[in-house]
Amino acid sequence: MINKQIRNFSIIAHIDHGKSTLADRLIQHAGLVNERQFRDQILDNMDIERERGITIKSQTVLLSYTSKSGEAFELNLIDTPGHVDFHYEVSRALASCEGVLLLVDASQGVQAQTIANLYAAMEHDLTIIPVINKIDLPSADIDAAKEQIEHDLGLDPEQAILCSAKEGIGIEDVLEAIVTLIPEPPGDVEKPLAALIFDAHYDPFRGTIVSCRVFNGAVRPGEVIRLMFNGTAHKVEEVGVFRLSREPRGELSAGSVGYMIAGIKTVADVRIGDTITLDSNPVSSPLPGFKDVKPVVFSSIYPMSSDDYPSLVDSLERYKLNDAALVYQKDSSIALGQGFRCGFLGLLHLEIVQERLEREFDQSIIMTVPSVRYRFALLDGSEITVENPQYYPDPTLIKSSAEPFIKAAIIIPERYMGVVIKLCLERRGANPKIDYPTPARVEISFDMPLAEVVFDFYDKLKTVTQGYGSFDYELIEYRQSDLVKLDILVNGERVDALSLIVHRDRAREWGVQVCDRLKEEIPRHNFKIAIQGAIGGKIISRSTISPFRKDVTAKCYGGDITRKRKLLEKQKKGKKRMKMIGSVMIPQSAFVSVLKARDE
């Protein structure tokens, strides 16, 4: 028998439409925290998440709710990450739900992300409850929001619940809608165990904590489970549910969402989307939708000071415990010394790794210019893959080269069609297809080189569509492409960490962009700095940083000396975040930012 009193749901919204605030209110309403403990945005508990206002690691929480009809329910709120880099994690989290609350800001109405999220929820055939939030704002226009819900989303506006998460208005209505509108979970406890892994966290004391949704069967401590991806068996130590902390239970059965601790050492030993079954009574086939997520963006991490290499080794090992998506191996560079070549899901993932290594592990690091993975067929018949421009083969030995292509799916209001098509064509997009899923909305699909989209395409798209563009992509295949290596010279010295592999036709453009960006990134020195882009021996672009004219204070006597020294000490600290290449100080941020186009 399945527990009919369970509801599994997620909240989806455009950024800043109040997802975290609503989640917090629901948690508060369920009595998990009292007013004093109530800290804003309980679920977003990483610093980065709070600052950027996005969810990176999803969190789950079980809320108890007694409905108006007096029935007691267990509501599993499954939080989802909010960026295209984590598209797959989102899809697994949604696969664990039966319904979603689709949040719309009463003053801003339906936005790009709202639509993208709606599509994702539709894909999983989830019940969608529109919620109009921030109705307390003076600028709230509920009628307009309702009209957009009907026209742009094709949902029943009369079903929309009005609330203000901030003021605590309408929270009861939201909870009531969850239990009445979202169906009870399907499944059968008698069938063999099938549980979907939708997340995994690392706990220094317990090892990997697997978040899962049980679809069939049940699992109890003491039983031996099998991870279907790699067939490994693990003895279950503990199962339970997520309150604000973990709460052990006797079992997890069909329909429920919870955690499992089974002596799994690192999160890299489990795969998001994998199916857990019982070793003694396995299911015949895993749950659908599993993908082994592979890194698509590569960059090397180096310590700012080579003395810190051992500490970086240790930090990466510890970081990796909690981020299965990061892969790395040893690397070295003439300019930067010993480091690691790392693979990431996308540029945001890369930035998150960088920030977390710095904040949580106190590492001072440099990341080199990101790259995708290229293939080269050589004249001797061999084929090599290169994701580090340093290893670009001798051009005279190359027979052909290929780069990964993606299929990009972009959804935008019709009025942005022109600028978006132009942007895609600039990025070597080909084979366009145009669809009209709902009136006034266009879905454009393009085949594009991955290298042209991973770095800043999404940011650029958001800029040209004023935030209305949603973007998703999937890798399709490698295609032949004329690839060259662009070297960057700083004061005549080649900086290997700044090299990149580019398409020949785009080489000049990239060369100009990188030189311009470096000109902005590198501070003025007291001598002139020349930055050049070169292919082979040929200079194709250049920029010059002129020296600063004057930087001296008039007076320096007794008391001033302490003050001046303190100022200098501060600057020296800032300088630590710069890397000395030859005689030029290059800021840590320069390496990654050279590939980002400027905001115009």
Partner 1 sequence: MNKSDNPGLYIHIPFCRSKCLYCDFYSVVSPAAVPAWLEAIQREIPLYNERFQTFDSLYLGGGTPTILAERELAALLECVHRYFAFSPDSEITIEANPEGLNTDKLKTIRDLGVNRVSLGVQSLDDGDLKYLGRRHGSKQALRALHMVRSCGFADVGADLMYGLETQSLRGWKRTVDRVLEFKPEHISCYQMTFEPGAAMWKMKAAGQVRPIAKKLESAFFIWTSRYLGRHGYHHYEISNFAKSPEFMCRHNRKYWSHTPYLGLGPSAHSFQAGRRWWNVRSVEKYCRLLGEGRAPVESAEVLSGEQLELESLLLGFRTSDGADFHASGGRLRAGEALSELQKAGLVKVSNGRIKPTRKGFLVADGIPLMFCGQ
Beta pairing, strands 578-581 & 584-587 = antiparallel
Q: How far is the CB of 514 from partner 1 (least distance, A)?
A: 22
Q: How far is the CB of 529 from partner 1 (least distance, A)?
A: 9
Place of tokens 């109405």: 109
As a three-state string, the secondary structure of 365-402 is EEECCCECCEEEEECCCCEEEECCHHHCCCHHHEEEEE
Nearer to partner 1, 539 or 561 (CB): 561
**Alpha-carbon torsion angle 497, 498, 503, 508, nearest 10:** -160
Nearer to partner 1, 137 or 585 (CB): 585
The encoded tokens of residue 411 equal 């959804």
Nearer to partner 1, 437 or 582 (CB): 582
Please, which residues have CB within 8 angstroms of residue 361's CB and are 6 or more apart in sequence? Answer: 315, 318, 319
Nearer to partner 1, 1 or 554 (CB): 554
Type of residue at 429: G
Beta pairing, strands 493-494 & 297-303 = unpaired
Q: How far is the CB of 533 from partner 1 (least distance, A)?
A: 21
Closest residue by Cα to residue 388 from 437, 328, 470:
328
Nearer to partner 1, 182 or 584 (CB): 584
Name the percent of the chain in helix, strand, coil, to the closest 5: 30, 35, 35
Nearer to partner 1, 334 or 425 (CB): 334
Helix or strand run (H / E) with residue 12: strand 6-13
- Residue 365 in contact with residue 312, Cβ under 8 Å? yes
Nearer to partner 1, 438 or 491 (CB): 491
Mutual angle of helices 347-359 and 309-320, in 10-degree steps: 120
Nearer to partner 1, 339 or 429 (CB): 339
| Interatomic CA distance for residues 153 and 577, integer angstroms | 47
Q: How far is the CB of 578 from partner 1 (least distance, A)?
A: 9
Please, which residues have CB within 8 angstroms of residue 21's CB and are 6 or more apart in sequence? Answer: 40, 41, 133, 165, 166
Q: How far is the CB of 541 from partner 1 (least distance, A)?
A: 22
End-to-end CA distance of the chain: 60
- Tell me how crowded residue 205 is: count the other CB atoms within 10 A of its CB: 5
Helix/strand/coil for 480: strand
Nearer to partner 1, 103 or 529 (CB): 529
Q: How far is the CB of 565 from partner 1 (least distance, A)?
A: 5
Nearer to partner 1, 334 or 379 (CB): 334
Nearer to partner 1, 235 or 563 (CB): 563
Q: How far is the CB of 519 from partner 1 (least distance, A)?
A: 18
| Interatomic CA distance for residues 441 and 63, integer angstroms | 37
Strands (E), 148-243: 161-162, 194-203, 207-216, 218-219, 224-227, 233-235, 238-242
Nearer to partner 1, 380 or 551 (CB): 551
The encoded tokens of residue 545 equal 């940083």
Residue 360 DSSP class: T
Q: How far is the CB of 559 from partner 1 (least distance, A)?
A: 4
| Interatomic CA distance for residues 189 and 252, integer angstroms | 10
Q: How far is the CB of 564 from partner 1 (least distance, A)?
A: 6
Q: How far is the CB of 547 from partner 1 (least distance, A)?
A: 6
Q: How far is the CB of 310 from partner 1 (least distance, A)?
A: 19
Strands (E), 305-379: 327-333, 337-344, 365-367, 374-378
Q: How far is the CB of 557 from partner 1 (least distance, A)?
A: 5
The encoded tokens of residue 55 equal 């969810």
Nearer to partner 1, 329 or 562 (CB): 562
Q: How far is the CB of 587 from partner 1 (least distance, A)?
A: 14
Separation of CA 520 from chain center: 27
| Interatomic CA distance for residues 123 and 125, integer angstroms | 5
**383 forms bridges with which residues in the sheet?**
377
Place of tokens 């990149």: 500
Residues of this chain that bind partner 1 (CB under 8 A): 305, 491, 525-528, 547-559, 561-562, 564-565, 568-569, 571-572, 575-576, 580, 582-583
Nearer to partner 1, 304 or 411 (CB): 304
Type of residue at 64: S
Q: How far is the CB of 365 from partner 1 (least distance, A)?
A: 16
